[in-house]
Amino acid sequence: MTQNIYHKPVLVPETLEGLDVQPGGRYIDGTLGEGGHSEAILLSSNPGGQVLGIDADHEAVHIAKNRLEKFDDAFIAINDKFSQMRNIASELNFIPVHGVLLDLGISSLQLDYEKKGFSFKHSAPLDMRFNSEQDITANQIINTYPVELLSDIIFKYGEEPFSRRIARAIVKNRPINDSSKLAQIIVEAVKHRIRRHHPATQTFQAIRIAVNNELQELESTLKQAISVIGLGGKLAVISYHSLEDRIVKKFFQEQSSKCICAIEIMECICDHSPTIQIITKKPITPTNQEKTLNSRSRSAKLRIAERI
């Protein structure tokens, strides 16, 4: 397998710098994917560095294992959800670590993997699961959810202003078993509206987020990540849309603040101690050169915090 067929990792130098990768350091890559970031971390932490890579997608783990087998015992790959991070690290005696990376969302290989139906550009079964053993699929959501619930999902997770119209069109055209048919129905439903992106972009994002429970996974994992990082270690999170970035930003703000009482409480009663210090007051974004070379990087935002 040649290098250029892998997913192209984004913000690599910025991530290595943000994680302050050092020889002999120990890191968790919670979104291993095809191992691009892990490889960069392993090279920079040599000699003596170690990476524990986790990914929910069995196929991605298989590819990463092959790609990174040259690092022998310095690299461990686990096929699981990143919300299992603390349990996995604890079982492997991999706590504390010097840094944790989450590079959220989907890889370009997954997007192009026609059997999964992540993309509206191919004709594929409506699956959209990172983990193929999980029960719920996009097909179930599209073909069985009531119109109100479908509309809520498309609005909440896709920030789609025409969610009701799209949900109604989906329900009317059931059964829908194919990603390109779904895309066609969405295009038809919003055809007179002016759009910056392909009209199906936000609905496909919404269904994928719902299938994989992505936002809840992220919320529950950020806390765990802090708990496995040693003092002075770093947490780096790369997000690709505002829903993810909002969660990361809010978490960083809460965890770095001395008081997390509700705004209407006049005198602090929470006794909260900050667990992190924010390193990136504003998120780091790719250079114009990276955006040109890798269009997927365009929406990337990297936030870094230090465990204190």
Residue 290 found at the interface with ligand SAM (CB under 6 A): no
Alpha-carbon separation of residue 154 from 44, 59, 118, 125, 177 (angstroms): 41, 28, 15, 19, 18
- 174, exposed or middle or buried, with CB in 10 Å at 0-12, 13-18, 19+? exposed
d(CA 244, CA 156): 12
Residue among 29 and 306 whose Cβ is closer to ligand SAM: 29
Residue among 167 and 247 whose Cβ is closer to ligand SAM: 247
Size of the site for ligand SAM (CB under 6 A): 23
From 19-27, 65-73, 102-110, 250-258, span contacting ligand SAM (CB under 6 A): 102-110
Q: Which of 71, 75, 94, 130 binds ligand SAM (CB under 6 A)?
A: 130
Residue 62 has a CB neighbour count (10 Å cut-off) of 14
d(CA 138, CA 127): 5
Q: Which string of x and - marks every residue 210-239 that binds ligand SAM (by CB under 6 A)?
A: --x----x----------------------
Residue among 144 and 216 whose Cβ is closer to ligand SAM: 216
d(CA 247, CA 69): 34
d(CA 37, CA 6): 11
The angle, 0 to 180 degrees and rounded to 10, between the axes of the packed helices 163-172 and 147-158 is 140
In the complex, least distance from residue 218 CB atom to ligand SAM, rounded to whole angstroms: 8
From 101-109, 114-122, 193-201, 224-232, span contacting ligand SAM (CB under 6 A): 101-109
d(CA 235, CA 29): 10
In the complex, least distance from residue 68 CB atom to ligand SAM, rounded to whole angstroms: 11
Subset of residues 249 to 278 that bind ligand SAM, contact rule: CB under 6 A: none
Residues of this chain that interact with ligand SAM (CB under 6 A) are 7, 9, 31, 33-37, 54-57, 60, 81-83, 103, 105-107, 130, 212, 217
